[in-house]
Amino acid sequence: MPRASKHFILGLRAVSPILLGVLPFGVIAGITVIETGHGALDASLFSLLAFAGASQIASLALLKSGAPVLVAALTGLVINMRYLMYSASIAPYFAERPLPLKAVFACILSDQSYALSVSKFRSEPQLPRRAKMAYYAGCALGVWTMWQLGTIAGALLGRAVPPELGLEFAVPLTFLALLFQVLTDRGLIIAAIVGGGLSVLLSSMPANTGFLIAAVVGIVAGYYARPPEERRPPGTEDEQ
């Protein structure tokens, strides 16, 4: 088996256990679109164009509850700010690759593919760049495919899915499975503690604005908790 294909399979295999949580997560996203009055085609297109997971659900839930469109949009934007950090962190591993390929990789980036890939790259710094790309592709495409399938299933099933199944429980479990893999330095730990603590304390604020505040404060706290010389995208030192 060619080395690239081998590492693609390894990436797909590494992300497979997490896909069990991604599927019901996607189903919830599809159901949420239907409950806002849109059709199955809208749900599928939304996931294909946005592929934003938690921000999709949060924004739709706010719109469903009657929150202003601006608040829903800002919520999605703030939740997705983490992808700026993800991209800056993982970009050095794909340096000197064609821009179209990097654009595709950016479109399928997810929490799961980022966490697994960066963990792999840091533990095996000698891994060839081509192998790193293949491993990332396996992780990312696995998550992307399962998310799209889950969204379509949720959109088609709609309200036929009984609430007793408790699919919502899969959402925090999916992120908890990744949390301990990415909390590798003081800045990330502080960001998680501050952001998580504030989100609980401010949970009663109207229109989910407490979450927005908690997310921003957590990011800022995590950044400044790191020593000045370390305030750069993690992973860049591996590629120098």
pLDDT value for 100: 92
- In three state form, how does the secondary structure of 24-81 look? HHHHHHHHHHHHCCCCHHHHHHHHHHHCCCHHHHHHHHHHHCCCCHHHHHHHHHHHCC
The answer on pLDDT for 83 being more than 50 is yes
Q: What is the largest CA-CA distance in the chain?
A: 55
Confidence band for 191, pLDDT divided at 50, 70 and 90: confident
The answer on pLDDT for 165 being more than 80 is no
Q: Is 205 helix (H, G, I), strand (E, B) or coil?
A: coil
pLDDT value for 240: 39
Side-chain-facing half-sphere of 119: CA atoms under 13 Å: 17
Q: Which of 180, 189, 199 lies closest to 226, judged by CA?
A: 189
Express each pLDDT in 118-144 by its tens digit.
Answer: 989 988 989 998 999 999 999 999 999
Token duo for residue 45:
């297109």
**Cβ atoms of 79 and 54 closer than 8 Å:** yes
Highest mean pLDDT: which range of 42-46, 64-68, 126-130? 126-130
CA distance 180 to 136: 19
pLDDT value for 235: 45
Compute the average pLDDT of residues 180-194.
70
Phi–psi pair at 3, nearest 5 degrees: -60, -40
